[in-house]
Structure 1
């Protein structure tokens, strides 16, 4: 049996770890993400996954979109600058099952320029638990990529870029879907595209259509088109995020298939970014919250 349960509950997926202190004893996951659940369906979805792990009242600490306005219960944002872990700021969720002591971690917000994060702060907490002396920039690639300034274990400021969502929209729902392949990669095409929009971001829209044209009048392969599309978007993002990464110690956190591209783009600019897998960091962050609350 677990003496507490860690939960990472996103829009599409639900992951849960049975814990005894800082030790993982079991793991389960499902596709019961927040995006597909009605308000009354959260508790049954969770109990289907973790019901066998708990007997008496058990603390459950969750992060992610489960705390959004459309989630189980809204966990209010904390404004920057702030520490990434705040056990006293957990929001208690209403439950029917007396065994559940359900708590949801808050997100982080920024007034100017307006920005929010929910879920990434727990990965950041995990990274800082493993690297307590880190001062610099954390990049968290994804659908909405975050660039986060960390100093003295606090989130000082951050910016979000929709590059991942733009890639999905352009590659699947625009004219570029006829040119961009689903598989394969061309590292040289990626590097060239990063350089183009990093140096001339104002040309992004024209370069995007150039991907379509190159497939019609030239020898461009679908693999090269995919890599170029990614490179053009990441290059433009790096141009806008330059105040964050230029001359800084940078770590890239998340899915290795994404962090590899961002790390490669940063290495082209002379940086030596660290990389860390986001799945392990989410659990490390939830564990840090639990242990600090004891």
Structure 2
């Protein structure tokens, strides 16, 4: 069975032509949700993948296409619940060859309000890979999710804006002058991580020191980037300790983010496994269309 899997985010979209559970072609586009009006989604999808549509075609979509400002709203499902439910929310379309459905996101109101879109599909893929997993899923990214999983359900979760915060400091603050390039220093990361975990309340007081160390001591930008990352992730781990402490953790992210979080968690004695985010997304979407 051939069908199309789509991960439609805020700033980009990715589409895969699937044969059962196996991807056979892939395409990317920069037309994410924030560049489109609701009436432009179907046209944008066909611009990208019209040659994949040959007769009746199943399309399953996760991510921000299901937001209120997206193609068609997929109302949030409240936790505790399974990550996916049924085949998704059907989307009205003009092209009658398309059978389109969008995966709803998840929400919680206690102990605090929180929502996710797209990550629920990664979680479904994670549980397809590790069906008996009981522990914590860490999904690092712009808005990192920490998710308590038990008996195949999402019990609770916590969002931390570490990725976006790093980008704001690196691109929009005075620190941008000292954080150029993409260098890295493991020792600087480890030191900052330990410091922020021990004294998370001092994290904000350490930030300007990155600029001062550049001006006065010629600190390398790679050391500054690693220090900033260590401070932010250390504060994140301190805030999310109830999710990961004493639990097995599966880290589901990109090749860039997984090693950093793996290093940080292993330094705390946590048993970790890793799973690429794209792989888990496809497995989650495939569970909607394959037995």
Structure 2 length as normaliser, TM-score? 0.96
**Quick one: distance in 2 between partners of 1:19 and 1:220?**
48
Counterpart CA distance in 2 for 1:37 and 1:273 is 38
- Give the whole-Å Cα distance in 1 for the aligned partners of 2:18 and 2:244: 36
Matched, 1:100 2:102: no
> 1:165, 1:194 → 2: CA distance?
18
Once residues 39 and 277 of structure 1 are traced to their aligned partners in structure 2, the CA distance between those partners, rounded to angstroms, is: 30
- Measured in 1, the distance between the counterparts of 2:21 and 2:43 equals 26
Q: Which residue of 2 aligns with 1:232?
A: 231
Aligned to 2:277: 278
Give 1:237 shift: 0.4
Separation in 1, partners of 2:156, 2:184: 33
Distance in 1 (CA, whole Å) between partners of 2:109 and 2:54 is: 43
What is the correspondence of 1:110-259 to structure 2 with a 5 Å cutoff?
110-112=108-110, 113-259=112-258
How many equivalent residue pairs? 290
Deviation at 1:4, TM superposition (A): 2.1
Gaps in structure 2 of 5+ consecutive residues = none
Cα distance in 1 between the residues matched to 2:53 and 2:243: 44
Q: Deviations over 1:238-274 (max 9, x none)?
A: 0011111111101111112111111111111112311
SS of corresponding position for 1:7:
strand
| Aligned-residue CA RMSD (Å) | 1.3
Matched, 1:72 2:79: no
1:29 matched to 2:20? The reply is no
Q: Provide, for residues 133-153 of structure 1, a one-character-per-residue CA deviation record: whole Å limited to 9, x for no partner.
A: 110000000110000000011
Provide the rounded CA distance (Å) in 2 between the counterparts of 1:22 and 1:180: 41
Q: CA deviation at 1:86?
A: 0.9
Runs of 4 or more above 4 Å deviation:
none
Deviation digits for residues 63-104 of structure 1, max 9, x if unmatched? 00000111001100000000012115x111121111111100
Q: Please give the alpha-carbon distance, in whole angstroms, between the structure 1 residues aligned to 2:277 and 2:2.
A: 24
Q: What CA distance in whole angstroms lies between the structure 1 residues aligned with 2:282 and 2:51? A: 20
Structure 1 position 10, deviation (Å) = 0.9
